[in-house]
Every structure is written in C-alpha cells, then in structure tokens.
Amino acid sequence: MKWLPQLSKIVGKEHLLTSAADLLAYESDALSLFRCEPAAVVLPNNQQQVVDCVKILSAANVCFTARGAGTGLSAGALVPKGGVIIGLNRLNNILKVDAASRLAVVEPGVVNARVSQHVAQYGLRYAPDPASQSVCTIGGNVAENAGGPMCFRHGSTTNHVRQVKVVLADGSVETWGHPAHGNDGIDLRGLFCGSEGSLAIALEIHLNLTPLPEAVRTSLVSFESIENACDCVSAIVEEGIEAAALEVMDQQAIHAVEDSLYRSGMPRDAGAILIVEIEGDSDYVKSQQTLAEECFSRTGALSLKMAVTPAQRALLWKGRKNAGGALGQLAPDSYVMDGVVPPSKLSEIMRFVDEVAQRYELPCANLFHAGDGNIHPHFAYDGGDALQSKNVEDAGCEILQRCLDIGGSITGEHGVGLEKQHLLAAQYGVEEINIMLRISNGFNPQQLLNPNRGLPLGGGCAEAFHRHSRDVSR
C-alpha cells in the first residue's frame, strides 16, 4: 500500500486516519443498516490536495468515495472494503458572495445553514433547507439533490446550483454549468446534481441565492388523525395555494419532540399536525392565508396556532427540524425511509404504512414534506437484533413498492445509495438503467469513484455492506 505514505505526504499524517477507532465513525452514514470499514480516511484541506489524493488513488487503482457530514440516509457515503473515504469537511470556505447577482460561491464542506446565516446581511438566503441543515454539507446536498420543507415552493437543490467545479475519477478538473444560468448542449451541471458522488467530486459550487420574503405566516394546525392532516394538504394543493412549506407530523413524532430538548409547544393530544408556511409580499400572504384557513376548517382542523414573532417561528421549526434526532431516543437504530406519492394519495399511503408497521410489530413515526408527497416513515429498531433488522428492511420494501404502485417514486430526496438499488429497475425498467450505466461508465470507467452507488453494477453488491448479511438468510 505505497499510496498510504503518498496520501500522508499530501495532507499530513494527522489528517490520514487508519486506526480502527478513527475509522468507526466512517463505516456508515445515518442509515446504519449498511456498514463497511474503509481502509483509510483522508482529510484534505484545499482543492489541490483533493485533486492530488484522487490522482494517487486512481493511479493505484484504489476505489474512493467523497464524504460530507455523513448524514445521508441511503448508505451513499460508504466505500467498499480496501477503499478510501475522502472527507471534505475541511474545505469549508464561503469563497465569494455577489449580492447583486444573487450568487454565492462555496466549497463543498460548507454546512448548509451557514450559507443563509452568512447572506442574511444582504437580505438573501439559500432556499433548500434539509431538516439536517445545521450539519449537512453543500457537497452532500448537491450529490443527493437534497430537498427540505421550503423546497415545495422553491424547488430542490438542482434548481439552486448554477455551476460546479469538479474533479473526475482520473484527477482531471472540469467546470460544468454557467454562473449566469442557462445551459447550451447537454446539462452536465444537472447531470451531476443527484448523481450520488458517482460521476465526480465537487470542489466548488456556485449557488443561487433567493431574496428573504417581505412577510411570512406560519400556522400550526392540529387534526384528530393523520388522514385529516393529509386531506388538508390535498385541499391546499388543489386550491392552488402557493405555500412555501407544508409539513405533517403524526402523534408519535410530536411526542418524541415534546419529550426532547427540542420541545416547541406542539399539541400532544393531536393525532397529527400540519405546519403551513406562506411567504411573499404582505397582501399576497394575507390573501393566501385566508384561503388556507378555509381549507383548515373544511378538513376538520381542531385548532390553529400562529407563530407570530420570529422567535415563535424559529421555535416551531426547531421542533420540526430536530424531530428526526428526537426520534433517535426511541431505539438504538432508526430506519428513515424516503418515498413519494401523488399528494392526493397521502392518506392512502399513511394507512398502508400503519398496517405494515403493525404487521411487523415495529414502532413507527411519520414526519414528512407533505406538499411534495414526500413521505418519511421512521422505524425504531435494534440493529443488534437480526430479525428486527430484516423486518425493518422488508417493511421498507413493501412501502416503497406501494409508492410505485400508486404512481410515486422510491426516493424524493435521500437518493438510492445502496439501500434502494434492488428497487431501481422496478421504477425505471432495465433499458433506462442501462442508459444510466453507460453514462456513469463514461465518467467513471474503472468504477473507482463511489462504485456501485445508486446504479446496480452486479447482483448482490449491496450485500457486502450489510451489517446482518451473515446472520439472516435473505
């Protein structure tokens, strides 16, 4: 392994991790069902160091995977045995803000929330706001085409990336897209967004900034059941109300938040709540709020609480955005799913999720970006128990298959990763997957860069990462 001292020479020995204790944190992302210890983790400090590391690994024929904060939920930031993780957290500079052009240029390790905090002084924000935004990185967001509550109105990450500078698997550096929008020819920038780190590694990203709204109204509406809350979402979407965010949480999720340090005064007795945020100029907000309140009444709302001051609004969002973390208290592991259905089918899929959870005897909570029909059942389980691990995956498969059956998708924002490879053909068909594979091979011919992520390269590849593959016959 003569490449190890070569990497050490580039980054310094304190930034090359090889001990079992150091590698432990890198053997999975936030989906702990899949694990694999890398041979090493290298932590470059600047773009040139990333390029130099890639060149060394490529020449040595060693596979490698870029990693941001490791909050991914589809096992995307893992590397096969013998491979190396390139951690990008030290590339965390906001390189430039051009307020007049509504542009920010950032390095991939910049944490999402930092961008909005930094540009607020110019009356701007970075709109995509994953619930994990206080830790996840822009590089990871671009690779997963991340969404978030505000993406219902503003669109997901790909709509906010103008240009990316990348390093390819062979160490060559390219720039895709244009800082002033517009694409001629094939949109390589668009192809990169959502490619799950398998085409190239982002070194520098040009982000589109959005003006802060003049007025915001945030309503917390409670309902007797999750079906009522989902019906209200359908009514709002049907009415054509342009809410910025429509977020549903069920009683299990509400209780987890209220039992945690993120408590934000959510009604414990509600079967479910809906958070509706409307933004724009004051007259527009007022008119849309009136229409929304008619939808609340029509669909059986029990109560309406407004977050009036910025502090009240921040508290409410703190509860919603930390609900995933709060649910982590329930069991040693959680499996956070990601599927999509047409918004009119939300009630139907929620009934199915409940039936599946009961059948497999798995505690389940739901919190999701309802406006986009993007569901996130959270299963609490013990990964040390092989049967529970198998049950949780089988339950997940059934739910995603049902999403497809009713006109939805197996992923809204978390990506395919290793988790959903086996379902990809059911969504796209073999011919389309073959086209994707040809594109992937064009960029990554030796499959050294994040191999086998998203696209299935061979039968049972994901199996090698399974924490319980030895224990359960699958």
Site residues (vs ligand FAD, CB under 6 A) = 29-30, 65-73, 76-77, 88, 108, 130-132, 136-137, 139-141, 143-144, 146-148, 196-197, 201-202, 324-325, 413-414, 450, 453
User: 76 or 280: whose CB is closer to ligand FAD?
Assistant: 76
Which string of DSSP letters, residue by residue, matches 147-216? --TTHHHH--GGGGEEEEEEE-TTS-EEEEE-TT----SS-HHHHHTTSTTSS-EEEEEEEE-EEPPSEE
Give the long-range contacts of residues 306-312, CB within 8 A, separation 24 or more: 306/217, 306/218, 306/219, 306/220, 307/218, 307/219, 307/220, 312/218
Q: Is 361 exposed, middle or buried (0-12, 13-18, 19+ CB in 10 A)?
A: exposed
Render the burial of 139-156: b for 16+ CB within 10 Å, e for the rest.
Answer: bbbbbbbbbbbbbbbbeb
Shortest separation between residue 25's beta carbon and ligand FAD, angstroms: 11
Q: How far apart are CA 313 and CA 139, in angstroms?
A: 28
User: 90 or 390: whose CB is closer to ligand FAD?
Assistant: 90
User: 146 or 357: whose CB is closer to ligand FAD?
Assistant: 146
User: 35 or 299: whose CB is closer to ligand FAD?
Assistant: 35
User: 127 or 301: whose CB is closer to ligand FAD?
Assistant: 127
Pairing of strands 173-177, 161-167: antiparallel
Shortest separation between residue 377's beta carbon and ligand FAD, angstroms: 13
**3-class SS at 223?**
strand
User: 58 or 450: whose CB is closer to ligand FAD?
Assistant: 450
User: 193 or 229: whose CB is closer to ligand FAD?
Assistant: 193
User: 267 or 325: whose CB is closer to ligand FAD?
Assistant: 325
Lookup: tokens for 395: 């339950």
Shortest separation between residue 286's beta carbon and ligand FAD, angstroms: 28
End-to-end CA distance of the chain: 35
Residue closest to ligand FAD when measured from CB atoms: 140
Shortest separation between residue 353's beta carbon and ligand FAD, angstroms: 18
Shortest separation between residue 192's beta carbon and ligand FAD, angstroms: 8
* Structural contact between residues 396 and 326, judged by C-beta atoms closer than 8 angstroms: no
User: 66 or 235: whose CB is closer to ligand FAD?
Assistant: 66
User: 295 or 410: whose CB is closer to ligand FAD?
Assistant: 410
Shortest separation between residue 293's beta carbon and ligand FAD, angstroms: 26
Shortest separation between residue 42's beta carbon and ligand FAD, angstroms: 13
Could you identify the residue written with the tokens 């796209």? Answer: 428
Shortest separation between residue 11's beta carbon and ligand FAD, angstroms: 16
Shortest separation between residue 106's beta carbon and ligand FAD, angstroms: 11
Q: How many angstroms separate the Cα of 287 from the Cα of each of 54, 340, 373?
A: 54, 30, 24
Lookup: tokens for 401: 């298959």
Max Cα–Cα distance, the chain, nearest Å: 69
Q: How far apart are CA 67 and CA 95, in angstroms?
A: 20
Shortest separation between residue 445's beta carbon and ligand FAD, angstroms: 18
Shortest separation between residue 279's beta carbon and ligand FAD, angstroms: 18
Q: How many angstroms separate the Cα of 433 from the Cα of each of 188, 428, 454, 463, 464?
A: 18, 7, 10, 20, 22
Render the burial of 223-243: b for 16+ CB within 10 Å, e for the rest.
Answer: bebbbbbbbbbbbbbeeebeb
Q: Is 96 exposed, middle or buried (0-12, 13-18, 19+ CB in 10 A)?
A: exposed
**3-class SS at 7?**
helix
User: 202 or 423: whose CB is closer to ligand FAD?
Assistant: 202
